[in-house]
């Protein structure tokens, strides 16, 4: 009882709580009995409301202090107006290089911008698909886009699996929404559009938009929207649906779901309409106002992306698309959940079992590679021996041919020497005969002169 009374005394003397009047005498008695002697009374003052309803305010302050991030993927053909629409949505002029139509493959170019409005900091990453739809062979046009999205998921998964991870300070580069730009110069979707959106619908939130919708009449635009949605539904393409569970945004999201795809017009130029200066485009026949809902759906798209459903897009990316990628990756690595919910799951045991399996498989591969190496060495030795025998046979054959040619040359040499000796003998005999003939011819005139004198 004494400890209970002391605790109540501390509660009443350390707060601004005012007890009921019927307990004033008892509180006075407690304060005289348990108050410390020769010490001043310490009081605490509350600087705000105490209660659970202050938790949202605390969360908001922490989120605002940390800042927000939002990543947008723009998929569309070159020159369809992706950069212009982004500048229109954020009312900024983001620097971006103009792309050409001569890229040999599709490249993804991310650009990150820091935007501040009041005390809210937003880091926006815009990823453009450079060269999409410009190649002759379009079979692999969507592969770089899928690889880029998977790469961002893998980076986040690698950060999660680290021993010392810092997810609070991690710059999340996962794509939160994909704005797919549909060309207005056709009566329906292209085959490339259907194939690409079918590959992306399980990896990212897709919102289709009809670019440069001011090139279509009102009836053409309505018919194109109907054909696009019917083709997407018939081909099983899952688009992002604005959530209708929250009563606060259920009505506006329900109406926006029926207006997909959005018809958009991009422009950062100021034009004068009446006495107002607005963003739009000026044509010889009139003007088009970007922020006029009767002209296009840019305002609706901005409301859905940046005001109403921003957090839902982030949650869908994390809890749906990333979880699907994470589950598939962990299953590929060999991790599986227990079949029974009551069965305990040990990550250490799973890791050790997977490690043993991996080491066993590695040992089996090593043994098979060693055996393959031994077989290759044996085959090489047999082949080398055969080559050696073949070379030895060729050597013996060449040696025999060399000896035979050497004998032939020696015989020819002897024949030549005999011919030379015979030639020399004939030459000497011929010279002797020539000498005798010359000598005989020189003696005959002297005989004639002697005979004349006689």
165 and 265 in a common domain: yes
284 and 202 in a common domain: yes
Helix (H) or strand (E) holding 271: strand 270-273
Count of the separate structural domains present in the chain = 2
Burial code (b: 16+ CB inside 10 Å, e: under 16) for 386-400 equals eeeeeeeeeeeeeee
pLDDT of residue 206: 93
What is 335-375 written as a DSSP string?
----SSTTS---HHHHHHHHHHHHHHHHHHHHHHHHHHHHH
pLDDT of residue 29: 46
* Cα 442 from Cα 433, distance rounded (Å): 14
Residue 16 lies in a domain: no
Residue 253 lies in a domain: yes
231 and 103 in a common domain: yes
* Cα 273 from Cα 290, distance rounded (Å): 12
253 and 368 in a common domain: no
* Cα 49 from Cα 6, distance rounded (Å): 26
Residue from 158, 155, 234, 184 nearest 76 by CA: 184
Query: 293-303: per-residue pLDDT in tens?
Result: 888 888 888 88
Q: Residue 159 is part of which domain span?
A: 61-334
Q: For the chain, give me the number of helices (H) and strands (E)?
A: 12, 9
Structure pTM? 0.66
236 and 105 in a common domain: yes
* Cα 163 from Cα 171, distance rounded (Å): 18
Low-confidence ranges of the chain (pLDDT < 70): 1-52, 97, 99, 101, 337-347, 443-454
* Cβ-proximal residues to 443 (8 Å cutoff; 6+ apart), any chain: none
Residue 251 lies in a domain: yes
Give the domain-ending residue among 284, 309, 334. 334
pLDDT of residue 137: 78
Residue 83 lies in a domain: yes
Residue from 172, 192, 174, 173 nearest 183 by CA: 192
Residue 93 lies in a domain: yes
* Cα 300 from Cα 259, distance rounded (Å): 10
Q: Could you tell me the two tokens for 419? A: 């011919």
413 and 268 in a common domain: no
pLDDT of residue 18: 47
* Cα 5 from Cα 18, distance rounded (Å): 17
Residue 276 lies in a domain: yes
Q: Could you tell me the two tokens for 12? A: 């009443």
Burial label, 106 (beta-carbon count in 10 A; 0-12, 13-18, 19+): buried
* Cα 56 from Cα 64, distance rounded (Å): 12
270 and 163 in a common domain: yes
Whichever domain contains 322, its CATH number is: 3.40.50.300
Residue 378 lies in a domain: yes
CB atoms within 10 A of CB 128: 23
pLDDT of residue 153: 92
Q: What 3-state class would DSSP assign to 167?
A: coil
269 and 167 in a common domain: yes
359 and 214 in a common domain: no
Give the domain-ending residue among 289, 306, 334. 334
Give the domain-ending residue among 334, 365, 388. 334
380 and 318 in a common domain: no
Residue 8 lies in a domain: no
Q: Could you tell me the two tokens for 126? A: 């815009």
* Size (the chain), residues: 454
199 and 169 in a common domain: yes
407 and 368 in a common domain: yes
């Amino acid at each position: 009882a004494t400890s209970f009374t002391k605790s109540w005394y501390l509660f009443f003397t350390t707060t601004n709580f005012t007890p009921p009047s019927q307990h004033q005498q008892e509180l006075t008695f407690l304060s005289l009995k348990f108050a410390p002697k020769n010490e001043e009374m310490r009081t605490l003052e509350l600087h705000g409301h105490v209660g659970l309803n202050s938790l949202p305010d605390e969360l908001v302050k922490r989120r605002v202090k940390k800042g927000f991030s939002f990543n947008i993927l723009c998929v569309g053909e070159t020159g369809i107006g992706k950069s212009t629409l982004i500048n229109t949505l954020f009312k900024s002029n983001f620097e971006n290089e103009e792309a050409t139509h001569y890229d040999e493959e599709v490249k993804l170019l991310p650009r990150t911008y820091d935007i501040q409005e009041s005390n809210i900091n937003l880091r926006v990453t815009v990823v453009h698909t450079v060269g999409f739809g410009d190649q002759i062979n379009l079979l692999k046009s969507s592969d770089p886009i899928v690889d880029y999205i998977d790469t961002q998921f893998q980076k986040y998964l690698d950060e999660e699996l680290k021993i010392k991870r810092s997810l609070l300070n991690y710059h999340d580069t996962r794509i939160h929404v994909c704005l797919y730009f549909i060309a207005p110069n056709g009566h329906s979707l292209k085959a490339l559009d259907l194939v690409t959106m079918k590959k992306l619908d399980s990896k990212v939130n897709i919102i289709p938009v009809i670019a440069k919708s001011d090139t279509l009449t009102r009836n053409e635009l309505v018919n194109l929207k109907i054909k696009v949605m019917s083709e997407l539904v018939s081909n099983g393409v899952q688009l992002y649906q604005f959530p209708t569970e929250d009563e606060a945004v259920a009505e506006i999201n329900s109406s926006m779901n029926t207006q997909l795809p959005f018809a958009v017009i991009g422009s950062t130029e100021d034009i004068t309409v009446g006495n107002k200066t607005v963003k739009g485009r000026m044509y010889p026949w009139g003007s088009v106002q970007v922020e006029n809902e009767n002209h296009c759906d840019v305002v609706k798209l901005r409301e859905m992306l940046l005001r109403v459903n921003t957090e839902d897009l982030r949650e869908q990316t994390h809890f749906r698309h990333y979880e699907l990628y994470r589950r598939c990756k962990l299953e590929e690595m060999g991790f599986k959940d227990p079949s029974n919910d009551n069965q305990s799951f040990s990550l250490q045991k799973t890791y050790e079992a997977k490690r043993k399996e991996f080491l066993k498989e590695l040992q089996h591969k090593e043994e098979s590679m060693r055996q393959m190496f031994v077989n290759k060495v044996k085959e090489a030795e047999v082949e080398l021996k055969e080559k050696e025998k073949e070379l030895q046979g060729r050597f013996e054959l060449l040696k025999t041919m060399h000896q035979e040619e050497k004998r032939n040359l020696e015989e020819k040499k002897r024949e030549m020497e005999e011919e030379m000796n015979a030639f020399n003998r004939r030459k000497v005999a011929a010279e002797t005969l020539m000498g005798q003939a010359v000598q005989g011819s020189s003696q005959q005139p002297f005989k004639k002169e002697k005979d004349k004198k006689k």
